[in-house]
């Protein structure tokens, strides 16, 4: 009986250590961080301004090649925020799925080993 209690305690501890990452929370968090990040970077360059001879944010404006409609302007600030949120959501989804998959496989190996040696 004591051995069964120890096994259930071991399993509970293992399941607690390898808790799943919430997909929705990760997607929303990375979408907000990436969206606000690109929005604030663009906004900073727009507010900073520059001389008419020198283009403002030439490096950041290069994102316009990959993100249609994005420019270093007030409108581009909103467009960049939307694009950043979409890209961040995709990255967050990828990380969460990869994290959960690797933990699931590792947890399955540990439980399999625990079952093998408990007999």
Question: What confidence tier does 101 reach under pLDDT thresholds 50, 70, 90?
Answer: very high
Cα radius of gyration (the chain): 24
Q: pLDDT by residue (tens digit) across 1-56? A: 556 656 677 677 777 777 788 999 999 999 999 999 999 999 988 888 766 667 77
**Half-sphere exposure of 12 toward its Cβ, with a 13 Å CA cutoff?**
6
Residue ranges covered by each domain of the chain: 21-118
- With H, G, I as helix, E, B as strand and everything else as coil, classify residue 39: helix
Q: What pLDDT, on a 0 to 100 scale, did the predictor assign at position 113?
A: 79
**pTM score, whole prediction:** 0.78
Between 94 and 47, the more confident residue is 94
């Amino acid at each position: 009986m004591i051995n069964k209690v120890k096994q259930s305690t071991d399993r509970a501890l293992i399941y607690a250590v390898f808790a799943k990452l919430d997909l929705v929370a990760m997607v929303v968090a990375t979408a907000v961080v990436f969206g606000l990040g690109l929005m604030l970077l663009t906004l900073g360059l727009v507010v900073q301004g520059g001389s008419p001879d020198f283009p403002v944010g030439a490096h950041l404006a290069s994102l316009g090649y990959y993100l249609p409609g994005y420019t270093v302007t007030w409108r581009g600030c909103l467009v960049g925020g939307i694009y950043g949120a979409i890209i961040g959501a995709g990255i967050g989804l990828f990380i969460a799925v990869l994290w959960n998959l690797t933990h699931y496989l590792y947890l399955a190996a540990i439980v399999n080993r625990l079952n093998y040696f408990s007999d």
